[in-house]
């Protein structure tokens, strides 16, 4: 299993780092990639050096994609036509697409949430088609979550989908969840 996590300046620290950590602990290969360059700066000012840029990867090499939130990060992700094209391609192939915080807005803008239940950062519900108040929502190949405080639940749901219930149970025990 291999998951792509595109990062842009302003990404939400907790959402990105938590997901990367939890997925790697589950034995999932995670590629954080810069959308515009090899260096990005998080919402809280942490500068991250990356091994790859989005234009260097082959989307066919990945089983899923996870979009972290952060309002500025989401705005910067939204500007990437390559990322939007990858999202549509993943959706057409039924690959896992996960988005947290404000990132489900990118999916809504691409029509990926049409006829799908989803959740989003509180206060943004009117900007997605079928909002739900749950902390994590799964509908088909789409996983959405509300924000930093739901990042572990979100990451664990991705683990369950990609690696199964047994791996989830072992990991939850290891993480004391």
Q: Could you say which residues of the chain have pLDDT below 70? A: none
What's the confidence (pLDDT) of residue 50? 97
Contacts of 164 (CB under 8 A, 6+ apart): none
What's the confidence (pLDDT) of residue 32? 98
What's the confidence (pLDDT) of residue 72? 97
For the domain that residue 59 is a member of, what is the CATH number? 3.40.50.880
The candidate with the shortest Cα–Cα distance to 70, out of 149, 126, 8, is 8
What's the confidence (pLDDT) of residue 3? 98
Q: Among residues of the chain, what percentage have pLDDT more than 70?
A: 100
Active-site choice (8, 19, 101, 159): 101
Our count of domains for the chain comes to 1
Residue 101 among the catalytic residues: yes
Tell me the residue range of the domain where 112 lies.
Answer: 2-175
């Amino acid at each position: 299993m291999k998951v792509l996590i595109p990062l842009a300046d302003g990404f939400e620290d907790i959402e990105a780092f938590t997901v990367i950590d939890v997925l790697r602990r589950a034995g999932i290969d995670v590629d954080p990639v810069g959308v515009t360059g090899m260096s990005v700066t998080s919402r809280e000012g942490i500068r991250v050096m990356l091994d790859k840029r989005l234009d260097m990867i082959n989307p066919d090499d990945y089983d899923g994609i996870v979009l972290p939130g952060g309002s500025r990060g989401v705005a910067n992700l939204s500007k990437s036509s390559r990322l939007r094209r990858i999202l549509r391609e993943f959706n057409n192939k039924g690959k896992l697409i996960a988005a947290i915080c404000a990132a489900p807005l990118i999916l809504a803008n691409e029509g990926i949430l049409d006829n799908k239940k989803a959740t989003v950062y509180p206060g943004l519900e009117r900007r997605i088609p079928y909002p739900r108040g749950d902390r994590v929502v799964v509908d088909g190949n789409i996983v959405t979550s509300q924000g930093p405080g739901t990042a572990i639940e979100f990451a664990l749901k991705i683990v369950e989908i990609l690696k199964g219930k047994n791996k989830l149970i072992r990991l939850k025990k290891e993480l004391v969840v």
